[in-house]
Amino acid sequence: MEQTYIEDVARHEGEEVTLRGWLYNKRSSGKLHFLQVRDGTGTIQCVVFKKEVDPEVFERASHLTQESSIEVRGTVRADERSPLGFELGVTAIELVGESTDYPISPKDHGVAFLLDNRHLWVRSSRQHAIMRIRSEVSHACRRYFDERGFVLFDSPILTPNACEGTTTLFETPYFDETAYLTQSGQLYLEAGALAFGKAYCFGPTFRAEKSKTRRHLMEFWMIEPEVAYMDLEADMDMAEDFVEYVVQRVVANRSAELAILERDVARLQKVKKPFPRIAYDEAIEMLHDKGFEIEWGADFGAEEETAISDAFDRPVLVHRYPAACKAFYMKNDPEDARLALCVDMLAPEGYGEIIGGGQREDDWQTLRDKIRHHGLPEEPFAWYLDLRRYGSVPHAGFGMGIERVVAWICGLHHVRETIPFPRMLDRLRP
């Protein structure tokens, strides 16, 4: 018999259909069972009336355990009380696979236990909501650049050189060489931007940071656009337009999931252009006013970022940091050589940096000197220098890690729930 998905039951009102799924929850009395059945596309209440079904069907329903897989046949009926708008009047039930002592019960469990059982935890309604929002964020990111003529230009994961410094790299033997797992697709993407004008990549990136904070994962997905003939100002315009687009698409398409997560949607609806823009110098002043003893020249930590973003009801763009605390490929500000033409976007509500980007150094000589100054080997960057040797142009871009964005949109305390199988300092399993 053909399977009907729960997301499609509205099209079958009054018809008898076959659902295939799992028992999510059950309430029973002597006369009837209310089975909450999920099939991944939705959850529906299935009502088993003792007087309407064969005795063995009623008996079978009474023994069903949480997460048993079942095939349920019945008639789709409108039901105003249901969030779905429909329930199923059951006529038959078949047990497909038993489930004995399912480890995740409705009671509270510790996070370590839930992460150990991540392969099962992803079946719960909160995790469903988060994963569907992650899926929506990924789609929105791609759609934004696809609709604007960007070419997808997948950067390699295995690289012979480090991008953001050499201390936080995962490495693997690569036949007779050593390869490093990419920390960012940017350097390769610059070749794509100079070939295609507008290019983006979107893939997993890796940082072997010995940090155990609520904002860090060892493996996370990053979307990175790069545009030829773009300067810092246009880059900031693109970043705010992009973030507004992504957030508002989730608000528009995933309201049911945001409701499950009890997210204050009004805060997300405020994420509209223009976003405030402040220079690093202004940010330092703000921090001094708030009592921070940070010196000019230092990068911001989580506490400073939160203090800055707390002053605003939408993301804030902080631009022109001291060049010394940023990566070698940043272009110096022609107005003040101590500064880099870079930008970080800090999310509101303490979610920290979600975007880092800026204009790239496009002068061959200056870039070569920076590579030397940063103590990096020159040979692995020879191809990167070539991009400044043959028709160099001003260009800019940014990277956005999607897990922090998902955590922010969902209102989660920790990024560990934003990815199917999080990789952390103490967690490589399951």
Q: Scan residues 18-57 and list those touching a copy of itself (CB under 8 A).
A: 20-23, 39-41
Residues 6+ apart with CB under 8 A from 11: none
Residue 229 CA to residue 197 CA, distance in Å, equals: 8
Exposure letters 146-164 (e unless 16+ CB within 10 A, then b): eeeebeebebeeebebbbb
Residues 6+ apart with CB under 8 A from 31: 49, 50, 51
Q: How many CA atoms lie within 13 A of 338 on its CB side?
A: 6
DSSP 156-212: PSEESS-SS-STT--EEEETTEEEEE-S-SHHHHHHHHHHHSEEEEEEEEE------
Which x/- pattern, by CB under 8 A, does the window 262-291 give for a copy of itself?
------------------------------
Residue 163 CA to residue 182 CA, distance in Å, equals: 8
Query: Which residues in 93-122 contact a copy of itself (CB under 8 A)?
Result: 96-100, 102, 117-120, 122
User: How many C-beta atoms lie closer than 10 Å to residue 119's C-beta?
Assistant: 11
Which x/- pattern, by CB under 8 A, does the window 389-408 give for a copy of itself?
xxxxxx--------------
Among 84, 92, 157, 265, binds a copy of itself (CB under 8 A): 157
Among 5, 34, 292, 312, binds a copy of itself (CB under 8 A): 5
Question: Smallest distance, Å, CB 267 to a copy of itself?
Answer: 25
Question: Smallest distance, Å, CB 178 to a copy of itself?
Answer: 9
Closer Cβ to a copy of itself, 21 or 225, answer by number: 21
Query: Which residues in 327-346 contact a copy of itself (CB under 8 A)?
Result: none
Closer Cβ to a copy of itself, 143 or 270, answer by number: 143
Closer Cβ to a copy of itself, 158 or 259, answer by number: 158
Query: Which residues in 165-204 contact a copy of itself (CB under 8 A)?
Result: 170-175, 177, 179, 181, 188, 191-199, 203-204
Binding range to a copy of itself, per CB under 8 A, among 252-260, 308-316, 330-338, 387-395: 387-395
Tell me if residue 281 falls in helix, strand or coil. Answer: helix
Rule CB under 8 A: say whether 160 interacts with a copy of itself. Answer: yes
Residues 6+ apart with CB under 8 A from 110: none
